Amino acid sequence: MNETSKSLNFIEQIVEEDLANGYGREDLRFRFPPEPNGYLHIGHASSICLNFGLGLRYNAPVNLRFDDTNPAKEEQEYVDAIKKDVEWLGFSWDTERYASDYFQQLYDWAIILIKEGKAYVDDQSSEEMADQKGTPTEPGTNSPNRNRSIEENLSLFDQMKRGEFGEGTHVLRAKIDMSSSNMLMRDPIMYRVLHKAHHRTNTDWCIYPMYDWTHGESDYIEQVSHSFCTLEFAMHRELYNWFLDQVYEPGKIRPKQREFARRNLSHTVVSKRKLLQLVEQGFVNGWDDPRMPTISGLRRRGYTPESIRNFVDTIGIAKRDNLIDVSLLEFTIREHLNKTTHRVMGVLNPLKLVITNYPEGQTEWLEAENSPEDEHAGSRQVPFSRELYIEQDDFKEEANKKFFRLKLGGEVRLKNGYIIKAESCTKDTDGNIVEVQCTYDPKSKSGSGTEESLRRVKGTLHWVSIAHAIKTEVRLYDRLFTDESPDTHKDKDFLEFINPDSLSIITGYVEPALKNAAIGDRFQFQRLGYFCVDPDSNDNLLVFNRTVGLRDSWAKIQDKK
RNA sequence: UGGCCCAUGGUGUAAUGGUAACACUCCGGUUUUUGGUACCGUCAUUCAAGGUUCGAGUCCUUGUGGGCCAACCA
């Protein structure tokens, strides 16, 4: 990681400035603080790479802290998935923390606040409190309970803790300023009553701290130096600092919150709430559905950690609203897979090709290069015979000069094999071409060095020998939404933009070398794209996911017509 | 009609008062036994108006546009 020539993003600059102003390098500490209420998505990858990247850059510890203050939404399943995803992306945390580890400390501090007259118990309804809250343009009014005695507050809060009150009946509020221009400073709630079991503390508590009261104090407990979050928390900073003021002791590290813009990806949604909706309402088959922008979905789709890190690095960190084109993500995965995958042949829309002058029953094993990008990748043998499958798109009875593929009377090379010439074709009663008959030039075998083998023909087709091919299931994915920014329409729900054709499942035929492919293995199906073996595969059936297609300039030429 | 934040090619990000650049996309071309890859090239950028300065994308003012803020969510 030689970053010397690379410019710093504004977050890195903040750290650099602190260092320049005397901040101790050894005092640097960061954290990645997910709430375990859903799976991590590509947007989180930015935050992960930012925080763990800072840790790597400064050799500083980075904690993985679960922000688990709401037992109503959080589950162990999510904790496990998050840990797996962070590790898979290639990062190691210093210590695994939970905000729930700090419930006792938070409670003790809350008692102090009450004793200092800085917090009070309110037993009004949420509606009443909302009314008193005012609006962004009008100040709020004080709660009638705002000036309860310290003794009464202590007693009430104790009763809350002991479970004597029902949910929604009592809260502990910080006494700050009901007329602040910042709504969050209008006596924010610190604790609410929740008679729910927590995934870690079980039923030890029935009062749970709110985000604002928890987050900054957790940073402080862990002595995190820089606490980076997304822009929607910018207004929370004032409160974050106010809460810190209440507990801060000189000499300790005082965490600093700064905000950056979350990354939006085109043609999808990057919000745990909306992704959960897609899962729960069955628009996708789970959080790791390959169409999901989740880390687990991308992993199953065939994305590599390297490509995601490279993507994140390319899109950078800033403060303005953004909508990153998914084509950039596709570029980074193609870039990595081009260099790392072996080339194989598979046919997705088969058209039977019969080589009429090739001996019946004969099989010949042709040598095929595994990767033109890697001279050490070696080669393999591919069976060739009289009856093959080629792609339906690769044959036309008649076509103009721009069509480099097979047409009647025309020649193409079969990749790694021979030059063939289409002689005739047969059709079914509906006029669909069902078979092509051709002849081959026995002297044109690839790599044989003969004059005929060196002849240049414009088109090269991939193919499989019908008798040797493995029948597989292939899942083709398209963008999940038809709109580039489905959740930013004020008058329309994002679900209205679901792409009904985001998944199509077809039967494909691949060369026998893939017989022993393992789950997760990635390949380039030549001329088609990158594919990986899905976990749904079993001994009887290989299932492939198309990670991404190859760039297709022929398709572009077609589109123009 | 309050507060906070933001504004650089189609997209994203740099330029830290001194020649506006990089990547992706788009378009065109060269090479090619993948219409892939690689390589070359074209088009295209500082929201507006004032001000400070020898010099402003950068600093100041005002406007305009966009985002966020009134969950016992995070």
Confidence of residue A476 (pLDDT cuts 50, 70, 90): very high
Number of neighbouring beta carbons within 10 Å of residue A363:
12
pLDDT at A5: 59
Task: Say how far A440 CA is from B40 C1', in Å.
Answer: 37
Closest amino acid to nucleotide B3 (CA–C1'): A181
pLDDT at A408: 97
Which percentage of chain A shows pLDDT scores above 90?
A: 97
| Model confidence pLDDT, tens digit, residues A188-232 | 999 999 999 999 999 999 999 999 999 999 999 999 999 999 999
How far apart CA A268 and CA A264 sit, in angstroms, is 8
Task: Say how far A6 CA is from B62 C1', in Å.
Answer: 37
Instruction: Name residue A490's amino acid.
Output: K
Mean pLDDT on A336-360: 98
Closest amino acid to nucleotide B34 (CA–C1'): A527
Closest amino acid to nucleotide B15 (CA–C1'): A7
Closest amino acid to nucleotide B1 (CA–C1'): A137
Task: Say how far A403 CA is from B72 C1', in Å.
Answer: 66
ipTM of this model? 0.97
How far apart CA A55 and CA A53 sit, in angstroms, is 5
Q: What is the DSSP letter of A206?
A: S
pLDDT at A419: 98
Assess whether pLDDT exceeds 80 at residue A374. Answer: yes
Assess whether pLDDT exceeds 80 at residue A354. Answer: yes
By C1' distance from the Cα of A184, the closest nucleotide is B69
Question: What phi-psi label fits residue A403: left (phi over 0), alpha (psi between -120 and 50 degrees) or beta?
Answer: beta
By C1' distance from the Cα of A272, the closest nucleotide is B74
Can you say which residues of A are annotated as belonging to the binding site for L-glutamine?
A: 67, 211
Give every CB contact of residue A481 below 8 A, 6+ residues apart in sequence.
Answer: A267, A268, A269, A494, A497, A498, A499
Confidence of residue A502 (pLDDT cuts 50, 70, 90): very high
Mean pLDDT on A486-508: 96
Chain B nucleotides covered by protein, CB below 7 Å: 1-8, 10-16, 23-28, 33-38, 66-74
Task: Say how far A191 CA is from B45 C1', in Å.
Answer: 50
> Residue holding tokens 């997910």?
A34
How far apart CA A406 and CA A396 sit, in angstroms, is 6
Average pLDDT value for chain A: 96
By C1' distance from the Cα of A140, the closest nucleotide is B70
CA A280 to chain CA centroid, Å, is 18
pLDDT at A78: 98
pTM above 0.90, yes or no: yes
Q: Which residues of A are catalytic?
A: 35, 262, 272
How far apart CA A64 and CA A83 sit, in angstroms, is 8
A384 is written with which tokens?
């060739």
Task: Say how far A7 CA is from B71 C1', in Å.
Answer: 40
Q: What is the DSSP letter of A430?
A: T
Q: Which of A390, A352, A387 is nearest to A467 (CA)?
A: A387
By C1' distance from the Cα of A260, the closest nucleotide is B5
Assess whether pLDDT exceeds 50 at residue A141. Answer: yes
Q: What is the DSSP letter of A494?
A: G
The answer to whether residues A452 and A417 touch, using CB atoms and an 8 Å cutoff, is no
Confidence of residue A1 (pLDDT cuts 50, 70, 90): very low
By C1' distance from the Cα of A317, the closest nucleotide is B13
Mean pLDDT on A534-543: 97
pLDDT at A559: 82
Instruction: Name residue A342's amino acid.
Output: H
Q: Supply φ then ψ for residue A342, to 5 degrees.
A: -85, 150
| Cα–Cα distance list, A69 to A65, A158, A276, A308 (Å) | 12, 19, 19, 30
Task: Say how far A487 CA is from B65 C1', in Å.
Answer: 20
Closest amino acid to nucleotide B70 (CA–C1'): A135
pLDDT at A518: 98
Q: What is the DSSP letter of A495?
A: G
| Model confidence pLDDT, tens digit, residues A22-64 | 999 999 999 999 999 999 999 999 999 999 999 999 999 999 9
| Model confidence pLDDT, tens digit, residues A56-87 | 999 999 999 999 999 999 999 999 999 999 99
Mean pLDDT on A228-240: 97
How far apart CA A67 and CA A80 sit, in angstroms, is 14
pLDDT at A6: 76
pLDDT at A216: 98
Can you say which residues of A are annotated as belonging to the binding site?
A: 35-37, 67, 211, 230, 270-272
pLDDT at A560: 75
| Cα–Cα distance list, A186 to A123, A133, A137 (Å) | 16, 7, 13
By DSSP bridging, strand A171-174 and strand A119-122 are antiparallel
Assess whether pLDDT exceeds 50 at residue A3. Answer: no
Q: What is the DSSP letter of A100?
A: G
How far apart CA A211 and CA A66 sit, in angstroms, is 12
The answer to whether residues A461 and A415 touch, using CB atoms and an 8 Å cutoff, is yes
